[in-house]
Amino acid sequence: MLSGPIKTKVIGKVYKEQMYKKDKWILPRISPKCENCNNNEYYTITCSTVTCIILSSLIKGDKVYKIICPTCGETIELEFDEYLTIEPLIKINKKYEEGKIRKIQYDRSVDDILSKIKII
């Protein structure tokens, strides 16, 4: 089995202030502020897919999620559980940025998402 090309795409953002449930930071393994530059207001999330080549057919392999500081590029690989925790926030932020929902719906959705998050 050969590893083929790795495709990476940006799937969205999570903002620092929306990642607290009450006073608790929802991703305990990752620092609220970038450990390298301490200068970010949000993180960018990317997904990389490794394509494997088996007997000349292409098979899409594992997805790897990463959290990236937009200021200095510091990158940390997310555990899948960590990604699942923040996935609803990434989606709602994207919808809001694309103008698909209004601010009032956005705020309500973020509150709703946070109320359902279990801190790992």
Per CB under 5 A, the list member of 3, 10, 28, 37 interacting with Zn ion is 37
46 binds Zn ion (CB under 5 A): no
Query: What's the min distance (Å) between Cβ of 15 and Zn ion?
Result: 15
Query: What's the min distance (Å) between Cβ of 32 and Zn ion?
Result: 12
76 binds Zn ion (CB under 5 A): no
DSSP conformational letter for 19 = S
Burial of 77-106, coded b for 16+ CB within 10 Å and e otherwise, reads: ebeeebbebbbbbbebbeebeeeeeeeeeb
CB-CB contact of 32 with 42 (8 Å): no
* Contacting residues toward Zn ion, per CB under 5 A: 34, 36-37, 69, 71-72, 74
